[in-house]
Amino acid sequence: MGEGYTVPVNIPGECAGSCSFAQPPGKSLSESALPAAHYIGCFAFEAARRLVRQPHARTRKFTAKESLTPRQLDCVVLVARGKTDWEAATLLGVSQDTVHQHVETAKRKYGVATRTQLVIRALFNNQLGFQDVISR
């Protein structure tokens, strides 16, 4: 194995895990692949966590209230690509505060605290696909 990247994930009081990615010897890991690897690792962790919990708890279904608006989805896609609020605002032609509000509203809809959790939840809810994350 050559260079690699490990995504550690921890939910305090619940579980911890990691997902590792590696390149063949002699090949370097592309920096542009790191965000996608991070989301794939988190997505795999959440999928495994749901499988482990499934016998003990019902899987939470998302309601229409939790669907993202088209503009919120635009912002989440840019968040998934590693853009800051300022960069997303520039790309979308809106203010930085507007992007921040869209992201915060989306986080509240999904009941998550971080931008990474937002992206993972949007992936699980099929509002976002991995092709959206890695497309430029």
Are the C-beta atoms of 35 and 78 separated by less than 8 Å?
no
- Quickly tell me which residue has 């986080």 as its tokens: 107
Instruction: Report the C-alpha gap between 72 and 93 in whole angstroms.
Output: 14
Dump pLDDT digits (tens) for 60-72. Answer: 555 545 688 999 9
Give the pLDDT score at 94.
Answer: 96
Reduced DSSP (H G I as helix, E B as strand, rest coil) percent helix, strand, coil of the chain, to 5: 55, 10, 35
Instruction: Report the C-alpha gap between 46 and 26 in whole angstroms.
Output: 32
pLDDT-derived band at 135 (thresholds 50, 70, 90) equals low
Task: Tell me how crowded residue 100 is: count the other CB atoms within 10 A of its CB.
Answer: 16
SS3 126: coil
Give the pLDDT score at 95.
Answer: 96
For 6, the enclosing helix (H) or strand (E) is strand 4-11
Compute CA 17 distance to the chain's CA centroid, rounded to the nearest angstrom. Answer: 16
Instruction: Report the C-alpha gap between 81 and 36 in whole angstroms.
Output: 8
Region 24-52: mean pLDDT is 79
- For the chain, what are the domain ranges? 4-53, 64-134
Q: What is the mean pLDDT of the chain?
A: 82
In CATH terms, 64-134 corresponds, of 3.80.30.20, 1.10.10.10, 3.30.420.310, 3.30.365.10, to: 1.10.10.10
Region 84-93: mean pLDDT is 95
